[in-house]
Each structure stands twice: as C-alpha cells, then as structure tokens.
Structure 1
Amino acid sequence: MEGSSEIGTPASGRGVLIVRNTQSGTAVIRADPADTFAQRLPDAVVHVLADGEDVDDVVVAAMESDAPPDVLGVYGGDGSVSRLAHLARRHERPLLAMPGGTFNHFVRALGIDSVDIAIDALLAGSAVTTGVVEATADGGEPITVLNVVSVGAYPELIEERERRSSLGKWLGGVAATWTALRRAEPLTVVRDGRRARVWSVFVSVGRNDPERVATMQRQDLAADVLDVRIHHARGSRLRALASLAFGKRTAAVLRAVRLFPRDADIERLVVPEIELLVRPQPGRPSVFVHDGELVERDAAGFTLHCVAVPASLRVYAPAP
C-alpha cells in the first residue's frame, strides 16, 4: 500500500456520483444497496445503468454539468470497478469502490467487504494511493487494469461462457468448462524475440502468491511491478484447466491429486513492463481478459503491452 491520507467529504454525500451496475454479481444473492445509499448518502447522485448504456457517457455528462462530482463511485464487479477507476484517473477524482460483483477481487484487497465499510471510509475521509497497470493492445488506447491481464486458456473459457449466457451463469460456466476441456489448444507468444507455446499467461498487478498460476486475486496494492506467470504447454489439457484454480484450497487439492501444473512448466517474471506478441492457432479466438472483461482482437493475433503505474489511483478504504 502506497500510503493513506484523509480527504474531506460532506457527511451527506454531496458531490458524490455513484454508478450502479445491476448486471454485476448475478451469481450471488446480495441485499439491495438502495436503502443504504438513501440513508447514509442522501445527497449523493445514484445512477443505475440502463441496458446498453455506456458508463463513459454517464461520467462525461456528469463532469460537464454545472455541478461536476468531486468523487466517482461504483457499485459493481471487478469489470465495473476497473472502468470507473480508469475514469477516476482520467478526471483526477478519488474513487469510491463498493463490492457488487461475484468475486470483488480489488475491493477485497483494500479490506472492503461491504458497502457500509466503503461508506465509512468515505465519510471518515480515509483514502489510500494504489498502483494500476496500463494495458495496450496493438498500440491502442491504454486500459486501466486493477487485478490481472490474461491470454490463453482463461480468456477462451470466458468467451465460451459468454456464448452460453442464455443457460445462466452457473450452467453456462459448467458447459463452457466442459467444452474448453475438450477443445483447449496452446497458443504462441513471442517475448524479446523468444517464441514459446503456452497454455496461458497471467500478468498480475503487483507481486502475487508464488504458489498460483491464475493470479486473479490481487495481493499487492503498491503495484510497482508486474508479476507474470507463463504456463508452458508441456502438459495435458486437464492441467491447463486445473491451472485456472485461484483458490488456495482448490489448488492444494489439485496438487495433492497431481493435476496441478508442474513447477517446471511455470515461468515467473517480476518486471516493470512486458510486451507479448500473441498468436492463437488458426480458427481459435484472438482475445484477452482484464479484470474479468473479455476483449476481442484481430483473428491473426495482436501485440499486448502492459506497464506498471505506481501511485496512480486514490481510493477510499479503511486505514491500513
């Protein structure tokens, strides 16, 4: 954690814009936060995203209004939070991040397990400065990443799950996993002129647990480096899917039954930035995932560049 400080905020929530994504966290049962917002932040503006509405347009309209917000807030999952973090950085505003998704990796790393904890930090003016990663594909606009960027098996699993979204998140996930288990193929990455066939690459924001391959749960708030895990394609499809286990207990069970990838097949790098030329096999999707959000690229492949940006985001959070 880079450090904490106090930021003044009216007790009523005046000057706070909260964007709420009602599509996040559909896999879990959560209490509706509307009453909490009304009781604890009665003067905050709460905008519920409509189907197809672009959060960028919502924030830009608010910033160009006669009373632009002093704080940008979000209630949603990791994808929604990373999008608002990007806009908070662009407009030089602190971020109020509240858990409204299935996993909530970033806010959990901040010590925020509920909406009330986030609001407590806001009203106390307690904030931390944390780092992010900026990911760029083919020289395009940089994307703010809060947890991890990945290519390979995990993005293909997410793409397959989205194709089966009509089945629901749970059934769609089961069907996607079964399909990925049968169809998974290595892809080629080129780094510093070296070519490798890999099952997956995970680029974590900051240092992460050395025992994991799928570093989806952020561990380091300072984030002055990238922690890269490259799973070389020397094992079976089953090991490729087993490597996606990011829970400690699940990973321990898979290690015990010898389904987890061998240590010799995992290459770990700790670097300030990395550039990968990504080439999927013919007929395979050309995609990457950041914070659970799927990004499609040209079918022939793409160049992915990631760089650590320390001390670049102010977030309300309990004091360390």
Structure 2
Amino acid sequence: MLKALGTARRHVSSADRHLVHRCAGLPRSVVDPGLRHLSRLANHSKLWFALAGGLAARKGPARRAALRGVAAIGATSAVTNLLAKQLLPRRRPASDLLPMHRQLVPRPVSSSFPSGHAASAAAFATAVCMESPLLGAAVVPIAAAVAYSRVHVGVHWPTDVAFGAAIGCTIGLATRRWWPVRPAAPGLARPSEHVAALTDGNGLALLVNASSGDRDPSALLADLWPAAKLLHPDPGADIVEQLHRELDEAGDSVRALAVAGGDGTVAAAASAAAVRGLPLAVIPAGTLNHFARDLGVTSAQDAARALAAGSAVQVDLGAVGVDDRPVQWFVNTASLGGYPDMVRLREKWEPRWGKWPAAAAALVRILAEAEPIEVRIDGAHRKIWLLFAGANGYQPKGFAPTWRPRLDDGVLDIRYVRADLPLSRIRFAFAALTGALFNSRTYVQLERESVRVEVLGEPVALACDGEVIPPGRTFSFASRDEALHVYRPENAG
C-alpha cells in the first residue's frame, strides 16, 4: 500500500514538473504582467469580495449569488488554510523553474498544497453559477484565469491548483444543503376552465395598494386596463370589508378581480375573490411578492397576458379560525409564537443579506428572546417556541421554507420547534445551521389537511401573510382545496 502511494506520488510530481517546464517555455508577452497583477488582486479573496459587492447592489439572483459566493469562500478558506494546508504540507516550485519576469515577489511561504486562490475562485464561481448561469458565464473565465495565474507566476504546482479548484467546487455545491437554490419554474397547479378573458379592463375591479412597494403602479395599470374599476384601500379600514362593499355596489358588472400590492393585500383580495367565486389576477407590486413569484407572475405585463387569454389555474388557500372570530384566509403562511417576529426581522434584513443569512440571524435573535408557549396540537400537549403553517407543502423541508412545488396539493405544511426538551433552543439552532434538522427531536414537521392549536396560557398573536392579527387562544387551521382561480400566463413554468 505504502509502495503504491509512493509510486503515485512520484508520478504526480513528474507530471507537475513536466507541466511547469512547458509553462516556463511560453514566450514572453503582454499577458505576463496582467496575470501577475490578477494573482495579487485575488490575495485574501479581495477580487471576489469586490465582485460580490457589485453584485449585491442589485436585487434578485445577483444579490443571492453574491451572498452565496461569500459564504462559499468563507467555508472554503477554512477547509483549505486551516485543514488541508496543515495536514498535507508541500514545498512550492523552486524559483529557478520560471524566468524572473514572470515570478511573483514576494513569494508566499505557506504550504503549496492545495491552492487557496484556486479554491476560493472555484467556490465563488460555482456559487454564482448556481444562482445565475448568466452571471456565472462572466465569472467563470475570471476564476479560471486566477487559478492558472498561480502556476504562471511560479507559486503553485498544477496539481495544487486542480485540488484547490475541486475543493472550492465541492464546497460551493454543498451550500445547497443549508441554502437550497430556488427553482426557476413556478409551482404546478391544475388549469382553470371558463375564466373570463379581459383585455381593456372592462369587467375588471382593480385594487391598488400604493403603499406596498417602492412606487405607485396606478398609472401603469390604468394604461394596461383603462376600463377597469380602480379601487384604493381606505386608511384604517378593513380591506376585505371594503372590497365586499365595492363589489356589492358594482353588481354583476365585475367579472374578475385584480390586486396590486404585497402579500397581505393579495390575501385580502384572495379572500373576497374566493367567497364570491371571482377569478383573481395578481400584479406583483409589494416588497417580496411571494405568492406572485410562486405563481410565475413576475410583472403587470404577465398578468395582462393571462387576463387577455383567459388563462388561469386553481390554487389552494389556507384558512384559520381564531376563537369565535370570522375565518382568516392566507395565500402563503400563518404563524404563531416567535415566528411573526422572526418573519418581520428576516424580511427587514433580507434585502441586504439575502433570505438564508437573514433567516439565520433572525432565528438566533428570536430564540434568544422568546418565551415558550404551552399548547395542545390536535390534543397533544406541547411547549413550543414557534409554529409555522403553510398553504401547500413548502420546500426546502428543513429550515427557511421558501417555495412551493405545487399550489394545489390540498395540505397544510405544519412546522414547529419544541420547547419541552433540554437545551431546546441551542439544539435547534445548531441543527438548523448545520443542516441536520431532520435528526433533531426539537424540530417537528408534518402535512395535514387541518390542525387545531389551543394555547394554554395568555393569548398569542397570529401572523397571516406578514400581517399580525389580534391575539387568540384557539386556532383552527385548514386547507381549502382549489378555493381560488388565479390568472397565470400559459407559458409560466
């Protein structure tokens, strides 16, 4: 065994020397100072942090790519510098193997194996490709040039670079365990039939919440649907009650309802539409637009195309009865305990940090401050820190549920964190941050058509689609199968 390893090592060393000699024989060119400068730029990942800063200035995939890239670099640097270089030391190529004009001065003195520059370059490029293949196509050539530059300037053997790149790619891909990549395709749902096709807005009631997003979309929507009946929420009034009054006054002239706003406004419109049997068009005009994103509706133009074609799908809604009050509908999620505060903090920090880092920071903050809630869940006595209920099954199945593969699966996604186990907060946080939730007894996840939660202490608040409603003691959650017809372009997903 040792003899075989020794033989393999000699073959690798021989191949390395051969490749370095071939590299040394390349003629002098203007590329030499450029590669030397590029290699220095990548010291301590300065180049990648600069690129990440530029990407983070843009919302969406670019920002997620930047954050995933920085996380991948952090993990890769730890593995490369603290483990691999210490366990597998190797001398760097001798200075006389390459001409003087190519050499990097001063030369690094740490172990040659593996290449930390190549590892960080590969980790960042892999992470960016996972979030945005288009951006990845621009980053990969830069990463490859950085990796090659380490051989070109004489500070690494080719196998140092190859193994470093392999480590970086592996760790970049491994970030999916903690931070899954959201699929590009929207959630599946069964098509609707006999839905009104509307072009100029005749027969359309349009609710616009101008305070939901960055700017008021009223002018754009008036151009798209000039004949629509335009509605704005009354300050301080209940939106659902207002909608019912307005729709009663309009009578049979309204054949469809449209809503432009955030998820809270969309949920209110969905409630009215479901009760009245009206199809709903969703225009993403809020900050996060989770429901529209799961539908595959990314703009007002998407909604206009779906309305004109009469293209719609049937989706489930969630419903929750609180004590003896009327049922509250939700299109995304409802939550108890520390979860409403965690959502508030996560959404506050998400535009700057991205969903997973913001969710992790919010989780730690809320668990540190939360008080346990004593409850009965379908009759079983529990103490919990927080409870999440999603309309349809969410992915990923561990921490930070983000998207729904289907919008019509007829179930509620119920998740809660137990507080009746020793060191439950620490155990849950550790399991969440290490991707081991399914091996932790503190975390419970199940799918049900309905669930009843009774609070055995002071009333607690409920958050539905980010809107906090008055506290209660008894919460009856249920899935309403295919309760709503929603417009969606035929080619979505």
Name the TM-score, length of structure 2 as normaliser: 0.53
| Higher radius of gyration, 1 or 2 | 2
More relative contact order in 1 or in 2 (CA 8 Å, sep 6+)? 1
Name the Cα RMSD after superposition.
3.2
2:447 matched to which residue of 1?
Answer: 270
SS in 1 for 2:441: helix
Gaps of 5+ in 1: 244-250
- Change beyond 3 A, Cα 1:20–1:292: same
Alpha-carbon distance between aligned partners in 2 of 1:115 and 1:276, rounded to the nearest angstrom: 38
Inter-CA distance 287–279: structure 2 relative to 1 (3 Å threshold) = farther
- Note closer, same or farther for the CA distance 1:310–1:63 as it changes in structure 2 (3 Å cut): same
Check conservation: 1:275, 1:306, Cα contact below 8 A: yes
Query: Matched residues in 2 for 1:23 and 1:178: separation?
Result: 30
Match of 1:255 among 427, 434, 445: 434
Aligned to 2:247, which of 63, 68, 77?
63
**CA drift at 1:64:** 2.5
1:96–1:315 contact (8 Å) kept in structure 2:
yes
Taking the aligned partners of 2:381 and 2:424, their CA distance within structure 1 comes to 20
**How far apart in 2 are the matches of 1:115 and 1:242?**
42
Partner in structure 2 of residue 11 of structure 1: 199
Q: Deviations over 1:27-46 (max 9, x none)?
A: xx45x422321222111122
What is the aligned partner in structure 2 of residue 108 from structure 1? 293
Shift of 1:218: 4.2
* Higher share in helix: 2
Q: 2:470 matched to 1:296? A: yes
Q: CA deviation at 1:112?
A: 0.8
Q: Aligned match of 1:151 in 336, 339, 358?
A: 336
- 1:316, distance to aligned residue in structure 2 (A): 0.7
Verify: 1:34 aligned to 2:213, yes or no.
no
> Alignment partner of 1:185: what SS?
coil
- Answer yes or no: is the 8 Å Cα contact 2:199–2:304 preserved in 1: no
Question: Residues 177-256 of structure 1 correspond to what in structure 2 (within 5 A)?
Answer: 180=366, 182-215=368-401, 217-233=403-419, 234=421, 235=423, 237=425, 254-255=433-434
2:233 is matched with 49
Would the alpha carbon gap of residues 201 and 179 (structure 1) be closer, same or farther in structure 2, given more than 3 Å must change? closer
- The 8 Å contact of residues 19 and 46 in structure 1, kept in 2 or not, is answered as yes
> Is residue 131–residue 310 contact of structure 1 (8 Å, CA) maintained in 2?
yes
Q: Work out the CA distance in 1 between the residues paired with 2:235 and 2:319.
A: 27
Q: 1:137 to 1:12 in 2, by over 3 A?
A: same
Residue 302 of structure 2: aligned partner: 117
Answer yes or no: is the 8 Å Cα contact 1:202–1:214 preserved in 2.
no
Greater per-residue strand proportion? 1
Shift of 1:15: 1.2
Q: Determine what percentage of the aligned residue pairs are the same residue.
A: 29
TM-score (norm 1): 0.79
Letter in 1 for 2:470: E
- Could you tell which deviates more after superposition, 16-25 or 152-161? 152-161
Q: Match of 1:308, SS? A: strand
Give the drift of 1:216: 5.9
Count of matched residue positions in the alignment of Structure 1 and Structure 2:
292
Q: Distance in 1 between matches of 2:430 and 2:300?
A: 33
Seen in structure 2, the aligned counterparts of structure 1 residues 42 and 225 have a Cα distance that, compared at 3 Å, is same
* Distance of 1:220 and 1:121 partners within structure 2: 19
- 1:99 is the counterpart of 2:284: yes
